[in-house]
Chain A
């Protein structure tokens, strides 16, 4: 029971933190809740399908299909987050200035929401498929009964969601004028974290060279296995022992998104008819 609670908590926490950040960043967009719910639902269905076909996926591409799949999922999510940040750099200031205009531009708003709902779905896809496999393993291994597995899983799920909600509520308290900078900063780190994890999977599949493995070892400072290490890993991509290529991907993603944000900001803003 404890085993299933801990694993479900860990996996839920990662997805819940990502959903929390996205829920904060989109709090003013129209139909936000239905988009988020759609993303969550699609993610759960998708993760059950992925769990079902894990063996098949792993066999693809000479045994490294799982890595390529994970890298693809992470890369797509990072690209969506990058696009969100650059979009917000252009429109966010205006949205923050004039509260009445919020959600007025429904078309761009829903385009924006569909991209972020996709990120939510992808985050659940990754964590959910692992959770499903783990719980299935516990059940078919006969080590625990259905009720202890489900009970432990429910506790883990609840605690993970609470942590995600805690982050959401905490970020919401940030004063309005710092809000934009805070959320785009969080999304920026999240995108870089995903790019770095995608690089790690590509090294594991031997598609990319590791350059140095590890580049440094900061396990003595923050262990990846500790709660703090896990939080920082999910939110900011912290690795105690990163390979060189992960750092390259991390820094390059940060630089590209920041450059994109700066570029659209320096262009004259599109004037909406009033």
Chain B
């Protein structure tokens, strides 16, 4: 029970911290990410908001960031990443991986 309460407290804590995260916007248009290169602060959690402006679904995926998320046409998706060590983290759109490529640079 104690452990459960601790988990709940942890949950509350992490939900409460949402508001404090820095937000970064990405747009998917014509099966490309804009901007294709995005700079974010290292060592802190960030909130990526990806807006898919295409008429087709896309899947935001990154092995380096350990993230994957399907984004419906016209939808905005929220993806939390980090805290990241400084470095380059490539990401791509799995449904159009020839054109939809980008990199997140943590510094």
Contacts and interface: CB of A to CB of B under 8 A. Distances in A.
A243 B67 CA distance: 11
Interface stretch (A62-70, A78-86, A91-99, A179-187): A62-70
Contacts, number: 97
B95 A213 contact: no
B70 A241 contact: no
A137 B84 CA distance: 32
B77 A63 contact: yes
Contacts of B76: 63
Contact of A240 (B14, B63, B81): B63
Taking residues whose C-beta sits less than 8 angstroms from the other chain, chain A's interface range is: 35 or more
A55 B52 CA distance: 11
A138 B95 CA distance: 8
A141 B55 CA distance: 7
Contacts of B45: 206
A239 B69 contact: no
Interface string A42-67: 00000000000011001100111011
Interface in A230-261: 239-243
B27 to A, nearest CB: 16
B64 A241 contact: yes
Interface string A209-245: 1100110000100011100000000000001111100
A207 B69 contact: no
A130 B71 CA distance: 10
A210 B81 CA distance: 9
A203 B80 contact: yes
Contact of A58 (B15, B54, B67, B70): B70
Interface of B: 10-11, 14-15, 17-18, 21, 31, 45, 47, 49, 54-59, 63-64, 66-67, 69-84, 94-96
Sorted nearest first, the 3 A-B pairs with minimum C-beta distance are: A55-B72, A63-B78, A137-B56
